[in-house]
């Protein structure tokens, strides 16, 4: 049985946002992208309805990217 991880909206934002010019934020985005690419399959991913609702806010392109990420998680 895989360990469980709950995804917050911040994770989804880091995965889908344009790369930041702020050094610290850019590093956080890159670490998140690396984890997503390399380790996500090692965990059962969970997300709440509230996070899905938040992910769907914003412009059409941004919300589409965010909602695409939510398909990898189980709703809790």
pLDDT at site 75: 81
pLDDT in tens, 13-71: 999 999 999 999 999 999 999 999 999 999 999 999 999 999 888 788 888 888 888 88
Residue with tokens 């914003």: 58
- Separation in Å, CA 71 to CA 25, 33, 74: 25, 16, 8
Give residue 57's pLDDT. Answer: 87
Contacts for 37 with CB less than 8 Å, ≥ 6 apart: none
Q: Whose CA is closest to 70, among 17, 27, 8?
A: 8
Bridge partners, residue 31, by sequence: none
Q: Is the CB of residue 67 less than 8 Å from the CB of residue 55?
A: yes
Residue 59 has a pLDDT of 82
The pLDDT value recorded for residue 17 is 93
């Amino acid at each position: 049985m895989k360990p469980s991880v709950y995804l917050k909206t911040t994770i989804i934002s880091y995965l889908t946002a344009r790369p930041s010019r702020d050094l610290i934020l850019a590093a956080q985005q890159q670490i998140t992208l690396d984890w997503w690419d390399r380790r996500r399959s090692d965990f059962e991913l969970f997300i709440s309805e509230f996070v899905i609702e938040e992910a769907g806010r914003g412009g059409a392109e941004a919300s589409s990217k965010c909602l695409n990420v939510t398909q990898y998680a189980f709703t809790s």
